[in-house]
Amino acid sequence: MASSAAVPFWRAAGMTYITYSNICANLVRNCLKEPFKAEALSREKVHFSISKWADGKPEKPILRSDTPGV
Amino acid sequence: MLRQASRLLSRSVAAGTSKSATARGFSTEVPSTIDSTFVESWKKVAPNMDPPQTPSSFMKPRPSTASSIPTKLTVNFVLPYASELSGKEVDMVIIPATTGQMGVLPGHVPTIAELKPGIMSVHEGTDVNKYFVSSGFAFLHANSVADIIAVEAVPLENIDASQVQKGLAEFTQKLAAASTDLEKAEAQIGVEVHSAMNAALTG
């Protein structure tokens, strides 16, 4: 099957669609008026911890959080 | 992009019309795709057990396409955090597809359209509701149902014009200064989104 269509510029630069879409959404959110901007940013806050595993044991977890003080 | 659309459409149509062993029929044809030789040999081996069911037998049949074009378009407009419009009957929607502003009327040809940052307007009688959509997809079905999904969609009044101008200037400058492909791509996305918001606010 010949791939004849031109790829979008972000795909050519190695970005996936999801990354592109999330960047677009973040840019739009940053351009909102208050109080919508505060609502949107609080809605998109994430809080998770990742730990890599080695030899069947979890290593020190990395905590990623947008809520301050955690 | 238009070339892609026809390839996608013809692929789905071809899968429906061909009766080859590898093609799955649409779920409206579920009874006829049950393999009778398999069922017979199953019954010989295990007469007391029902033959195994396939996923297609659990699916609801695809809604049949009405023979006459419906008068209204049913729109489902969803975001990850909210369902903006659910089963709303409207006259027309104009969606910002990557191929340009696409007007969707009832009876539109089934289409899958990727959306670019732009204005989506929903027309109902004399009411027009406009949203700025960051990106997403629109699925137009044969039965005049439109499923539009977006990551972020805001009414135009909620956008701050001064921040848009600031962002546009910032990203235009980043684009000029960018060195790697990835930086260029990110700056280009920034320029595109902010120009689209600018056009939406002033147009």
pLDDT in tens, A11-33: 988 999 999 999 999 999 988 98
pLDDT in tens, B65-104: 777 888 899 999 999 999 999 999 999 999 999 999 999 9
Q: How many CB pairs under 8 A join A and B?
A: 78
Q: What sign does the CA torsion over A3, B97, B84, B197 have?
A: positive
Domain positions in chain A: 9-64
Give the 3-state secondary structure of residue B116.
coil
> How close, in Å, is residue A64 to chain B by CA atoms?
21
Comparing CB atoms, the residue among B152, B159, B163 nearest residue A25 is B152
Can you give the pLDDT at residue B27?
47
Q: How many Å apart are CA B135 and CA B114, to the nearest integer?
A: 8
- Which one of B131, B149, B151 would you mutate to disrupt binding with A, by most A Cβ within 10 Å of its Cβ? B151
Chain B residue with minimal CA distance to A9? B185
Spatial CA neighbour of B147 closest among B111, B172, B103: B111
Q: Which CATH architecture has domain A9-64?
A: Orthogonal Bundle (1.10)
For chain A, positions 10-69, list CB contacts with chain B under 8 A. Answer: 10, 12-15, 20-25, 27-33, 36-37, 40, 43
Instruction: Judge: A28–B181 Cβ closer than 8 Å, yes or no.
Output: no
Q: What is the ipTM of this complex?
A: 0.76
Residues of A in contact with B154 (CB under 8 A): 28, 32, 36
Q: How many Å apart are CA B21 and CA B119, to the nearest integer?
A: 44
Q: Indicate if the pLDDT at residue B55 is higher than 80.
A: yes
The secondary structure of residue B31, as a DSSP letter, is G
pTM, entire model:
0.71
pLDDT in tens, B101-136: 999 999 999 999 999 999 999 999 888 999 999 999
Chain B residue with minimal CA distance to A29? B152
Spatial CA neighbour of A59 closest among A46, A67, A50, A68: A50
A45 CA to centre of own chain: 10
Q: Helices H, strands E: what count in chain A?
A: 3, 4
